[in-house]
Structure formats: structure tokens, C-alpha cells
Amino acid sequence: MLTERQLYILKAIVDDYITNAEPVGSRTIAKREDMHFSPATIRNEMSDLEELGFLEKPHSSAGRIPSQKGYRYYVDHLLPPAELSNSDVHDIRSQMTARFHESEQLIQQSAKILSQLTSYTSIVLGPEVFESKLSQLQLIPVSGDQAVLIIVTDAGHVENQTVHFPDEISSSDVEKVVNILNERLRGVPMFQLQHKLSREVSDVLKQHVTKYETMMTALKDVLADHQQEKVYYGGKTNMLNQPEFHDVERVRSLLNIFEEDALVSKLIRSEDQGLTIKIGSENEFKPFDELTIVTATYMLDGKYAGTIGLLGPVRMEYPRVISLMDYFSKDMTRLLDRDRH
């Protein structure tokens, strides 16, 4: 068990390192007004804290930096319960007043502000495609063998894709198909569409439509493509501000990951309500073992809608970030609800 004084010193070191990004020496800590011990005493405590695994030394004659365990402890037990600063609240308010046409805009704007305010990178997973339901299908002919299939979900989200019909198909058949599909599939969750299509609807179609096979394969192809959710970014290059990213190799590996939405989504996703903080190698992916990822969720109609995430150096401004994430998580939920009704 750590003594009161050890906690105090640990907190001071983490705080200092977070703002200065440089190993913290005993003298630096001793100079703080609220610290009434000599450097020597602090050195002894530091030595103990190191032995316990909360601190480490880059080299023998340098100051201490927090270890991963140190950050974890700081986050779990030492965090000052920060309120969002007035200027932050003001900044957010002034940029979030606009009414958004689409939830997409709201999300994009949130990602942007979050990254601007923190100088970290924000990642927001869009309202869950998996959770939303089909509202309407439309098949609009474009040219001879092409048509555009448009899928509208109950969340107002639109997906579209061009469909090729290798053989000529009569427009009355197309109309029939669309009608049947709409009748049978409305209200079906997106992720079940493909399944339902082949199981339940296929028989009906067979009876009403010639060229049934052609049509089915085309439709199935299209649906298969639309099972992934959207990922929005803010401040992709903000990482470059951090001293720990002055190495080009690291920059590349990180930026390359950002190009793979599916990976990022897997990484960020977390349906646990409330805040999640993953420090360094607590993240599953190697390239992130020097980063902290903070996630929170937002809701729609009382159900999980998506995740907001913030990616920064392990040496992250935790108190501020946490209050920001908390705020956004609630604010996005609120705004989505308001726009809906």
C-alpha cells in the first residue's frame, strides 16, 4: 500500500511529466510550493516508487518518468475531478450551435472540435449501421443494364450502389421486385438483410419474376458491400505535434492504420457505457503501444449508437480529456435526440 506522501509525489511527477514531456527530477518536485520535503527525501520515495513499478528511469542519471503502471494508477486513483473549463465550454458552444442537416454533420463537427481542443486525434464511429433498420429501397434505372439501388435506413442514412443486370430485364419486373422487397424487408435490421433476402424473400420473388436468378445475385452482391460502419476523423495529423512522434517511421505506421477504417473501428469500438481508458500496451495493436485511447459512447433512442474516441500520447492531459469526453458523449446524445424529434 502506498503512503499518503508517495501518492502525493507520484501525482506530482505524473502531472509534471504530462505537461513537460521531460524526465522529472527530485529538485523540480521539491520546488513546488505544496511540497514540504527536501530533494533527498523525495529521491528516497522516488526510489521506492520505482521499485514498486510506478516509475522508471530512461537512464541512471536522469529524472523519473511514469511507467505504464504509474499512469494506470494515476488514472484510477489520483485524477483530480476536473470540471470543464469555462473557455472550453464556450468554445464548444460557439461551434455547436448550428442546426445540423444530418447526424453525419453533427458527428463530423464533434470530431473536429474534439481534436482542435485537445491537439490529439479524434475518431468517431458513426451511428451503428448494424443497429439501424431498413426504411425503404429504391431501384432507379440509369441506362440499359444499369440501375442504382438506394437503401434508406430509419436513421435517415442513405447507402447506394450501382447494380448491373447482365441480361435485359423488363421494367415491370423491376418494379415488382422493388415492391416486394419493400413490403417484406421494411423494418428489418440492416445486418439481417442479406440473410432474410435469401431465406424468406427469395421464394416469393421466384414466383413473380422471370430472370429471378440474375436479379438475386446482383442484389446479394450489393448488400454484401454495405455491412461496414463509417469512421470519422478529426485532426489526423495532430500527432505530429507531440514530441514522441518526431520519428518518421512511427508517423507512417500510425497514419497507415488510419487508412484502414475496419481496423480502426475494431480498435475503438466499445459498447460499454461510460468512459474507457486504454493505456499503452493495454491496446491490442502493437503500433498503439505508446498511445492512450480514451473512448466513450453516445446514444440514440436510448440505445447504443456509436463511439467517440480520442487518441493521444500515453502522456495525455487526462483530467481535461476526461471531462471533454464526458461532455461530448452527453452532448451528442442530446443533440441527436433533439434533431430526431
Which stretches of the chain bind a copy of itself, using CB under 8 A? 99, 101-102, 135-136, 138, 140, 142-143, 146, 148, 150, 152, 154, 156, 158, 160-164, 221-222, 225, 236-237, 240, 245-246, 248, 251-252, 255-256, 259, 340
Are 331 and 114 in contact by the 8 Å Cβ rule? The answer is no
- Residue 138 near which of DNA, a copy of itself, none (CB within 5-8 Å, type-dependent): a copy of itself
Are 238 and 121 in contact by the 8 Å Cβ rule? The answer is yes
Nearer to a copy of itself, 22 or 154 (CB): 154
Tell me the three cell numbers of residue 281.
500496451
- Residue 273 near which of a copy of itself, DNA, none (CB within 5-8 Å, type-dependent): none
- Residue 44 near which of a copy of itself, DNA, none (CB within 5-8 Å, type-dependent): DNA
Tell the smallest beta-carbon distance from residue 111 to DNA (Å). 36
Q: Tell me the residue ranges of DSSP E strands in the chain.
A: 55-56, 65-66, 121-125, 134-143, 146-153, 158-164, 231-234, 276-279, 291-300, 303-313
- Residue among 144, 129, 195 at smallest CA distance from 174: 144
- Residue 60 near which of DNA, a copy of itself, none (CB within 5-8 Å, type-dependent): DNA
SS3 category, 260: coil
Please give the residue ranges that form the binding site for DNA (CB under 7 A): 23-28, 36-41, 43-44, 46-47, 50, 57-64
Tell the smallest beta-carbon distance from residue 40 to DNA (Å). 4
Nearer to DNA, 62 or 204 (CB): 62
d(CA 323, CA 320): 5
Question: How much of the chain is helix, strand and coil, in % rounded to 5?
Answer: 50, 20, 30
- Residue 38 near which of DNA, a copy of itself, none (CB within 5-8 Å, type-dependent): DNA
